[in-house]
């Protein structure tokens, strides 16, 4: 009995000593702040880039549609700030639900000070926008501040030259790349996979719609007075126009967005003119339509005489998930104008799963 009691007491002392030892170590051991950090390596614009996880504070710039991609893959709660005209909040929420209006919106030139102020661990931008470096913000300058940079796939340069043309993959492939990569960056891979399934289903429905014998030629009027800012064969609008059953009048231009002379625009003889609505002012769209109607060489086009203007938010036409919404709305208008056979599809509803 005494022997058993002694063993029991000894065991209790050992256990107690062990607990004290562990407690003591816990109190004095240095905290490894990176212990819960991991990383993921992705291909971004042809380069293998490593991103530190978890990503919690994202500053998203350059275009509204890309912000839509982030929303679609479940990244709303990661957004620390966005560059987005607040008038586009309603457009985003109509597609992806509420929440974007509560995210801080940035105006003007985005500087490193702004980014640091948002405690960003990831900045999303494009080579044609933020990463031009005009404000000192580049992927390299962000890395020097321990902030990762993700370049929107639609804006990848074709070479290392700073003035290189943009666009290294088809617009829908660029969107797929961003959807997949964001899913990995935000830990929402299941949601990203669902988004890809939805995208492919909606694209398949568009591609199944009957084409006209002669596809209508479509002009994108983004902005411009002395010349016209439009989109070439590498941009998101080219993919949108193609699946909607039309042909981009500047499909042969090896670039994403570029400036075209009004003379060149007139010679392209578009059948449909898509007006990009920036959602900046009430008279913005009418001003663009009036500019077309007042120009010699354009006002006599059938598209102008027949009033074949399609007004859609710019938020649907820069690279991002809203592109498929833009394609469906454009297809509906092309059918309405009688420039493509009726598909019998209600383009305002998504295809059934």
Confidence check: pLDDT of 11 > 90 = no
Asked whether residue 218 is assigned to any structural domain, the reply reads yes
Residues 176 and 280 in one domain: no
pLDDT for 353: 60
Summarised one tens digit per residue, pLDDT across range 60-82 is 987 899 999 999 999 999 999 99
**Residue located via tokens 């399609």:** 310
pLDDT at residue 36 in the model? 59
Indicate the pairing of strand 38-44 with strand 47-53. Answer: antiparallel
Last residue of a domain, one of 175, 202, 229: 202
Cα 11 to chain center, whole Å?
A: 63
Task: Answer yes or no: is 78 within a domain.
Answer: yes
Name which residue leads in pLDDT, 260 or 34. 260
Which two structure tokens, joined as six digits, stand for 106? Answer: 């940035």
- Tokens 């670039």 identify what position? 255
Q: Say yes or no to pLDDT of 291 above 80.
A: yes
pLDDT score of 111: 92
Residue 176 pLDDT grade (very low, low, confident, very high; cuts 50, 70, 90): very high
**Concatenated DSSP letters of 1-36:** -HHHHHHHHHHHHHHHHHHHHHHHHHHHSPP-TTTT
* pLDDT of amino acid 168: 83
- Average pLDDT over the chain, rounded to an integer: 88
Residue 26 has pLDDT above 90, yes or no: no
pTM, whole model, 2 decimals? 0.87
Do 254 and 173 have their domain in common?
no
pLDDT reading at 14 higher than 50:
no
* The pLDDT value given to residue 8: 37
CATH number at residue 169: 3.40.50.1980
Burial class (CB in 10 A: 0-12, 13-18, 19+), 31: exposed
* The token pair that represents 339 in the structure block: 């420039």
Q: Which among 147, 181, 202 is the end of a domain?
A: 202
Same domain for 257 and 190, yes or no, is: no
For residue 35, pLDDT beyond 50 = no
| Portion of the chain with pLDDT greater than 90, in percent | 72
Residues 222 and 138 in one domain: no
pLDDT tens string 198-257: 999 999 999 999 999 999 999 999 999 889 999 999 889 999 999 999 999 999 998 888
d(CA 85, CA 107): 8
User: Whole-angstrom Cα distance, residue 343 to residue 330?
Assistant: 13
Model confidence pLDDT, tens digit, residues 148-158: 999 999 888 88
**pLDDT at 13 (0 to 100):** 35
Residue whose C-alpha is closest to residue 218's, from 190, 247, 191: 247
Does any domain span residue 32?
no
The residue among 146, 175, 202 that closes a domain is 202
Q: What SS3 class is residue 215?
A: coil
Q: Which domain holds residue 111?
A: 37-202
The answer to whether residue 25 scores a pLDDT higher than 60 is: no
Same domain, 308 and 276: yes
Same domain, 182 and 252: no
Domain tally for the chain?
Answer: 2
Looking at the fold, whether 182 and 46 belong to one and the same domain comes out as: yes
């Amino acid at each position: 009995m005494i022997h058993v009691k002694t063993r029991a007491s000894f065991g209790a002392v050992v256990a107690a000593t062990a607990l004290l030892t562990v407690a003591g170590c816990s109190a004095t051991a240095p905290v490894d702040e990176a212990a819960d950090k991991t990383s993921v390596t992705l291909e971004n614009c042809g380069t293998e880039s490593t991103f530190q996880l978890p990503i919690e504070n994202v500053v998203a710039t350059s275009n509204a549609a890309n912000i839509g991609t982030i929303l679609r893959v479940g990244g709303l709660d990661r957004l620390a700030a966005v560059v987005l005209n607040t008038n586009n909040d309603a457009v985003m929420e109509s597609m992806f639900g509420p929440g974007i209006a509560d995210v801080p919106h940035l105006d003007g030139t985005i500087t490193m000070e702004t980014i640091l102020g948002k405690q960003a661990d990831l900045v999303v931008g494009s080579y044609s926008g933020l990463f031009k470096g005009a404000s000192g913000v580049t992927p390299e300058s962000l890395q020097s501040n321990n902030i990762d940079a993700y370049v929107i796939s639609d804006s990848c340069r074709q070479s290392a030259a700073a003035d290189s043309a943009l666009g290294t993959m088809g617009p829908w492939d660029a969107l797929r790349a961003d959807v997949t990569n964001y899913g990995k960056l935000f830990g929402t891979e299941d949601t990203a996979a669902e988004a890809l399934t939805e995208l492919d289903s909606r694209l398949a429905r568009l591609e199944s719609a009957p084409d006209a014998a002669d596809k209508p030629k479509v002009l994108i009027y983004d902005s411009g007075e002395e010349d016209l800012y439009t989109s070439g064969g590498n941009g998101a609008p080219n993919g949108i126009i193609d699946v909607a059953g039309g042909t981009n009048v500047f499909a042969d231009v090896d670039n994403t967005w570029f400036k075209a002379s009004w003379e060149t625009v007139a010679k392209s003889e578009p059948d449909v003119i898509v007006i990009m609505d920036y959602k900046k002012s009430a008279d913005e769209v009418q001003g663009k339509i009036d500019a077309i109607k007042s120009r010699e060489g354009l006002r006599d086009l059938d598209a102008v005489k027949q009033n074949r203007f399609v007004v859609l938010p710019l938020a649907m036409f820069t690279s991002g998930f809203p592109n498929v919404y833009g394609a469906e709305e454009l297809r509906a208008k092309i059918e309405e104008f009688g420039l493509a056979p009726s598909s019998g599809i209600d383009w305002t509803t998504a295809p059934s799963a």
